[in-house]
Amino acid sequence: MADDWRADCLGVLGHPVVKTPNLDALAKRGMLFESAYCLGSNSGAVCRPSRNMFLSGKTYFRWRGPDAPAEDSSFPAVMKTAGYETWHCGKRGNTAIPIQTQFEHNNYINENQERNSGHPGREVTEQALDFLAKRDAKRPFFMYLGYETPHDPRVPTTEDAADYAKQSIPLPKNFMPQHPFNNGEMTVRDEQLLPWPRPEEALRDELRAYYGAMTGLDREIGRLLADLAKRGQLDNTIVIFSSDHGLAMGSHGLLGKQNLYENGMHSPLIFAGPQIPAGKTPALAYLIDLLPTVCGLTGTKIPADLDGVNLTPVIQGKEKQVRDTLFTAYRDVQRAVRDERYKLIVYPQINRTQLFDLQNDPDEMQDLSNDAAMKPIQDRLRGQLKDLQERYGDTQPLSVAQPKPAEFVPPGALSVESSQCEEFGFTALTKSH
């Protein structure tokens, strides 16, 4: 499980710059899900609820407080009960500590130290290799590698940094200097990593480091796969690669993952291993599906109280899909739903919507919400969004009686709300940078 890895950043998908030879090879011999998503977040630190959800198999609406409880239906508990020797290594507290302690072997890294080490992913891989060398060979194993990269700060290996420094780095197709309105989370920590409007050359430098960290992690994953092959275990091991969510990196004028665009919640997802055919599928999937799917692939009993569903029929070619719609959410400020073609994003605090045709506009550059001909589709999606909210336990209204101003003025610019003007007797307002 990578941290902040955009779904489109794989060489096998035709990315113009990033080099991921080991993950490309994994995808070519396995099943690549093209439409896998983090369901969302109740926190600006999206990684935490995302990992809580996939380790519990339940949406974040099911628990009170910031974390999922450690239940018998959690990933480590289920696999341990099934006879697997369970192992974890990652950031402390990146998931609920009680769930992490359900692993038989529970290891932590110093995340900032590792991110600044110049060897992305190395410490987790080293600990994993040590476990494989010393584990009980009589038992099957289940390992969760919670890598710290390519989350910032990003320090690629010297080799990768030099390689990407030589390259001309294109900006995302949907790059904007600034997001056109207030999405409810415009000044969260991630968004303050660069000023507004986004300086193009500074963003290119961020992308160089981002891609370099990805290549470094890909190399470490290659080491792990080579070790499994050397031990004669690779053909007998299911390997899954994903990320807790994506990252904007300049798309739509944003930098972070606190958004419901495709770059925010869309995650890479690859399954490879015995009885998994090679191919790719557009079937809609959640990260919360990982627990029931691993149960399905290994013949382990699936807990009855999960929100995730078993993707095994899709992987094995018996079904084209297990869902026809998919819902995502971010705090109380964003809600979205998509089907095979269209996507509706609702911003409840400002009573604004966006509608995209993902088939013809995968980069979400043309908002169709004001097109009268699209109203039936928009109404249908809004109804489906409400149905999915009810199914997953989300009580957030999709509009408010007194919406907040939709305009976003960056920090440092003069911004006075109209209500404040009236309070102090002013009728005119000047904005300047």
**Where exactly are the structural domains of the chain?**
11-323, 324-433
Average of pLDDT values for 261-274?
98
Q: Is the pLDDT of residue 66 over 90?
A: no
| Residue 51 pLDDT | 97
- For residue 391, the SS3 value is helix
Give residue-wise pLDDT tens across range 4-28.
999 999 999 999 999 999 999 999 9
Q: Is the pLDDT of residue 433 over 90?
A: no
- For residue 23, the SS3 value is helix
| Residue 281 pLDDT | 98
Separation of first and last alpha carbons in the chain: 41
Give residue-wise pLDDT tens across range 362-381.
999 999 999 999 999 999 99
Q: What is the DSSP string of 113-157?
A: HHHTTTSTTHHHHHHHHHHHHHS-TTS-EEEEE----SSSS----
Length of the chain: 433
pTM: 0.94
Average pLDDT, the chain: 94
Give the rounded percent of residues in the chain with a pLDDT score beyond 90: 93
Contact 216, 158 (CB under 8 A): no
Q: Is the pLDDT of residue 163 over 90?
A: yes
User: How many CB atoms within 10 Å of residue 322?
Assistant: 16
Q: Tokens 């919360």 belong to which residue?
A: 288
Sequence-distant contacts of 8-17: CB under 8 A, at least 24 apart: 8/263, 8/266, 9/210, 9/211, 9/214, 9/268, 10/268, 16/170, 17/164, 17/167, 17/169, 17/170, 17/207, 17/211
Q: Is the pLDDT of residue 81 over 60?
A: yes
- 179 vs 196: CA distance, rounded Å: 9
Q: Is the pLDDT of residue 417 over 90?
A: no
Q: Is the pLDDT of residue 423 over 50?
A: no
DSSP single-letter state for residue 365: -
pLDDT band at 413 (very low <50, low <70, confident <90, very high): low
- Name the helix (H) or strand (E) containing 31: strand 31-37
**Tell me, which fold does domain 324-433 have in CATH?**
Arylsulfatase, C-terminal domain (3.30.1120)
Closest to 9 (Cα-Cα) out of 251, 320, 293: 251
Q: Name the phi and psi angles at 225, rounded to 5.
A: -65, -40
- For residue 267, the SS3 value is strand
Backbone CA torsion sign across 61, 92, 189, 200: negative
Q: Is the pLDDT of residue 60 over 90?
A: yes
Q: Tokens 């590698």 belong to which residue?
A: 145
DSSP single-letter state for residue 176: -
Average of pLDDT values for 73-100?
95
* Cα separations in angstroms, 210 against 26, 76, 307, 417: 21, 31, 33, 37
- For residue 400, the SS3 value is coil
384-290-287 Cα angle (round to 5): 50
Q: Provide the token pair at 385.
A: 């969004």
Contact 184, 331 (CB under 8 A): yes
Give residue-wise pLDDT tens across range 98-146.
999 999 999 999 999 999 999 999 999 999 999 999 999 999 999 999 9
| Residue 126 pLDDT | 98
β-pair type (269-272, 40-41): unpaired
- For residue 423, the SS3 value is helix
pLDDT band at 429 (very low <50, low <70, confident <90, very high): very low
List residues bridging with 239 in a β-sheet.
272
| Residue 129 pLDDT | 98
| Residue 94 pLDDT | 87
Average of pLDDT values for 223-240?
97
Q: Is the pLDDT of residue 415 over 80?
A: no
Q: Is the pLDDT of residue 43 over 70?
A: yes
* Cα separations in angstroms, 375 against 282, 343, 368, 406: 26, 13, 9, 22
For residue 162, give every residue at least 6 positions away whose Cβ sits within 8 Å of its Cβ, in sequence order, or none: none
Buried b (16+ CB within 10 A) or exposed e, 196-219: bebeeeebbebbbbbbbbbbbbbb
CATH superfamily of 11-323: Alkaline Phosphatase, subunit A (3.40.720.10)
- Name the helix (H) or strand (E) containing 239: strand 239-242
Q: What is the DSSP string of 305-338?
A: T-SS---HHHHTTS-S-S-S-EEEEETTTEEEEE
| Residue 93 pLDDT | 81
Q: Provide the token pair at 325.
A: 């719609």
- 315 vs 271: CA distance, rounded Å: 8
Q: Is the pLDDT of residue 428 over 50?
A: no
Contact 208, 398 (CB under 8 A): no
